[in-house]
Each structure stands twice: as C-alpha cells, then as structure tokens.
Structure 1
C-alpha cells in the first residue's frame, strides 16, 4: 500500500477524559468520564514511522517509538480500514495517572483511534460504532473506552455483532471525589487474576440488584448511592492486593460514604449526593491513610473524546 496523498500535511489535536469503571457493582459494564484530560497533537510527516514526545505523566517511562500504545492504536485503525499509516510526529500531554484505576491505557487507545478518525476525515467515515469496536479490540473490554469516547455515564455490553453502549446523563446532584495514592499502582491483569472463575448464585443476584439500583441512583435518586454501590463480585477478592485501599474504603463506608474501588484500583471513587460531602470524605482519607494520597474533586465529563483538525498549510 502507498500512503494516501490526501494525508499530507494533516494535523489534529485530541483531548480524552480519564475514566472510572465498575463503580462498585457494575463490573465490566458501567463507567464514568472524569474531568481530567490527556491531550495529544499528531502531525503527518514525510519520513516513515512514528516518534512520540511525552510531556507530564509517563515522561521518560513510556515508549516513544512505534511501540507506544497511542501509535499502535492509530496503526490498528488505519490497518482496519485498509489504509497505510503515514509517518507521524506525536506530542502527548499526559495528566491521567498511570496504573491507578483511572483509565490511562483506555485514554491512550481512544486518543489514538480518535486521532486516526481526525486524520482520515474525508477519506474514511468512522462512526461511533466503529470507534467503540476498534477501541474494544485493543482494550479487551468496553467499560473504560466507552465513557472515554462518549462522555457521561455509559453502560457497555458485548454482542455477537460487537460492543454496544448506552450513554446516560448523570443527575446534577452527583459529585465525585477520586482519591489517588502517590506511590501505589495496580496492574489490571493482576487485579483480574485475583477473581474466581465462578461466584455464588446469591452474590450474582446481589450485584444484579445493586447495578440496577446504581443506574437509578446516578440518573435520578442520588440519595440511594450508598446502598447502590455495594458489591460482591470483585472488590473483596482484590482487597488483599490493595490493603490500604480496602482499609480506606471501609473507613469511608463506615461513615456512610458511597466509596468504591476506581477501576482496577488502587484509587478510590466516592460518589456524593452533595458537593460538601467531598470535603468530609477527603478528610477521612487524609486522617486514615498510612501513605500519601491526593484527593481530587472532579466533575463528570459530558463530551468524551474530541478531535480538532488543523488546516493543511499550503505549499510555498
């Protein structure tokens, strides 16, 4: 394949929100987009291959060549649509913490796919289903990439035809607190390995009821958040790998806060029905944490990933 000449000179800017998945009982299904963003500039160049400059989180740590996850996501998208990826220069402005359960890998994947969509504008039309399908192929499950793509609260599920999603608007009374340990990380693969292959029937029923209740709490009745965030499918099994996270969640829930593990952890998500509750929850974390934690009072991102194409500069 030859590089499509229409790609010459194209440049895009991408912005992708962090996410928090599971939300307690909604394992591998529910996710929220957060008001923390990674940004990405991608420019087509004449030389083949790709180079990446990382600024912020991951600088000096993540790959800066074609093995970078963003580049691999761009290439995956180009390959799917039968178009050769051109030479690229990328600048990644990273804010989302890595390995903390805030969807950093999902954001990288979505950033690459949305960048590819912007670069291919007018050449290939990639719709919402195509974006979610490509992202899920790389991520393995859609619960993080769906809110990163579409914003808000998302329900994601798999079908024989591929991943599907439904985006919902969160009640304006819901406020978010995300507490992030400064030094502790958690591998998603490790977290998943700690779960059993099967669970008791009553535990499955318990989570079905709480997941249904959680949707109602998030979009209509925030006063139900505490009861709605109970879980028996994954958090207890993973607790041994995140003892401080587990201890802080127990301390928060003992005071009536709807605290859960954010994604695979070790960060903590607290869903509050009143913005003032976030201050009290943050104080509990500060008083009980044995190591440094940062508490972030966040909003729900309602836009999801965005891409802006810069005008192609005319040849001199």
Structure 2
C-alpha cells in the first residue's frame, strides 16, 4: 500500500493571483493499493459525508490520469482518505486530493513520472498551479503556465514566520468566488498588483516581514470577494492592529490568513472574535509553513 501525506496550501498571498502559493503544516493522507477488482473508496475526516466514493472521486480521477499516461492498468483500486484540510474553505483541499492521487498512482505504477510531469498533470486537473505547486513541492512557489508547460520557482519560507488561519463555518466554492470577479481590470489596478507581487516575492526571499503590510495589498480579487465573506474587511483590520504583518484572503476563501512572527494566539483570538461579532463562527489554527511538499512511502498493510 502507498501512503501519501499532502500539505494544505494557501494561494494568491494577496496580489499573486493564480501564481503564488505556500504549503502549510496541515495534512491529508491518501492511501492507495491495488486489489483484485473494482473500486473501494473509504473516507474519514473533513467532508467525509459529501465526497463521492465512485469514479467521480477526484483522487481516483487524478490516479487514472497517471495510469493512462504510463499505460498501466490496475486490476482494481482501494483508496482511503483521511482529511484534516477543511473542504471548500480556501486551503487547497482539492489540490491535496489531486496531488495525493497523482503521487500514489505514480508510485504504485513504478514511479515513472518526474515531479515536473506530475505538476503538469495536476494543473490539467485543477486548472491553475497556485495550490498544486506548493502541495507537490512545498515551501512558497511562484508558478505560471508558459506554452503549455508549468514554469516555477521555489522559495524557502522565512525563518520564524507562522500563519494564523481563521476558517469560517461555511463553504465557498472556487467557482462562485471566480464568478464575482470582473473579466477585465484597469491598467492602474494591474500595475498596482504587479508592483505588490514583485515586492512580496522579494520580501519573502529576503525574510523582511516588515514589507508584508504593503506587499500583500491587492486590487484584482479580494475587494470583489469581500461580499462573500461577512466581516472580512473588519477581520483583516483587526488582525493588523494586534501585530499581523500581512493578512489576506486564503485562495478563493472564505478562510482568512495572517502572517506574523509573534502574537500568534492574540491574532487568532482577535480574528475569531471579530468574525463572531459579524455573525460568523470560525475555527482558528496557528500553522507553520511546510518547507517540503507531499511525501510518499510504501507500507505493509
């Protein structure tokens, strides 16, 4: 049996829409083994009641793409999922499922595909690389598609930096969160985000967290999505007041994520309390960045 641990991820980091992401130390486990016939899917943890257990399961779909690529035909599959990453909350649950399925299937079929090829397959399924890249590679990733190939660079997270995530008790689909975005933006807003994204990458490379308050500003997606997350702007402001270096929407939301080097528990309390004051119950967690991505091992079942 193959067992894969896949980290949660936070995408965009403010201005880096669809191209920046970071792995976090919160994990889903994907277990996969070949059986004599059929498909058996077992699911535990977050989303267990809602995730399909047939061939529409995204882990199975990812695995099937690997088997097709390497011309391997398993007699049957048993898949067990143990989920800690909240589903549809902006912490990369679908990316974790995709990457877990790809890696498990690759190892099961002889480890014929490189990480670069796995990343290419992951983007085909997910549609964009901002979550799947850090889920696979770990750390902070800058990634983009160029002529059908994913080009990426990896940054080691700054020492001492942790995140505080506030996870509201409602789901928000990426599809809905994208539907509220405009199809075009002004030149001023585009220039604004290019400058902030460049500053953010440089600040993270140099470990200068003091720049995050400016570098994580955004005009491409967060303001449009604020209406989907009650109290969002108030939570962002409250976290900054108690020491967060930068606070943004995690991926498509509704989770909000603060970056800091101290006052983690105070930031968590303030984010939770501010959400509650705006009618939203939220779970808060202090999570470290994960410098490594998904890991796989073969275990005797």
Give TM-score, length-normalised by structure 1: 0.90
**Is the aligned partner of 1:241 residue 2:235?**
no
Q: Contact conserved, 1:226 with 1:256, CA < 8 A, in 2? A: no
**Is the aligned partner of 1:88 residue 2:77?**
yes
| Alignment correspondent of 1:62 | 51
Q: Contact conserved, 2:231 with 2:274, CA < 8 A, in 1? A: no
Deviation at 1:244, TM superposition (A): 2.5
Q: Contact conserved, 1:173 with 1:222, CA < 8 A, in 2? A: no
Deviation at 1:260, TM superposition (A): 0.2
Q: Contact conserved, 1:174 with 1:218, CA < 8 A, in 2? A: no
Structure 1 segments of 4 or more deviating over 4 A?
none
Deviation at 1:217, TM superposition (A): 1.9
Cα distance in 1, alignment partners of residues 6 and 133 from structure 2: 11
Give a deviation string over 1:53-90, Cα, whole Å, max 9, x none: 00111222211122211011101111122222430111
Q: Contact conserved, 1:156 with 1:165, CA < 8 A, in 2? A: yes
Structure 1, gaps ≥5 residues long: 1-10
| Alignment correspondent of 1:299 | 288
SS in structure 2 opposite 1:88?
strand
Cα distance in 1, alignment partners of residues 172 and 27 from structure 2: 20
Cα distance in 2, alignment partners of residues 185 and 164 from structure 1: 31
**Is the aligned partner of 1:155 residue 2:145?**
no
- Superposed CA RMSD in Å reads 1.5
SS in structure 1 opposite 2:218?
coil
Cα distance in 1, alignment partners of residues 210 and 109 from structure 2: 45
Cα distance in 1, alignment partners of residues 200 and 275 from structure 2: 27
**Is the aligned partner of 1:230 residue 2:220?**
no
| Alignment correspondent of 1:262 | 250
| Alignment correspondent of 2:194 | 208
| Alignment correspondent of 1:6 | none
Deviation at 1:50, TM superposition (A): 1.3
Deviation at 1:255, TM superposition (A): 5.3
Structure 2, gaps ≥5 residues long: none
Q: Contact conserved, 2:32 with 2:105, CA < 8 A, in 1? A: no
Cα distance in 2, alignment partners of residues 136 and 97 from structure 1: 21
**Is the aligned partner of 1:135 residue 2:122?**
yes
SS in structure 1 opposite 2:175?
helix
Structure of larger gyration radius = 1
In the TM superposition, what are the counterparts of 1:78-227 in structure 2 within 5 Å? 78-121=67-110, 125-181=112-168, 183-220=169-206, 221-227=208-214
Aligned residues: 296
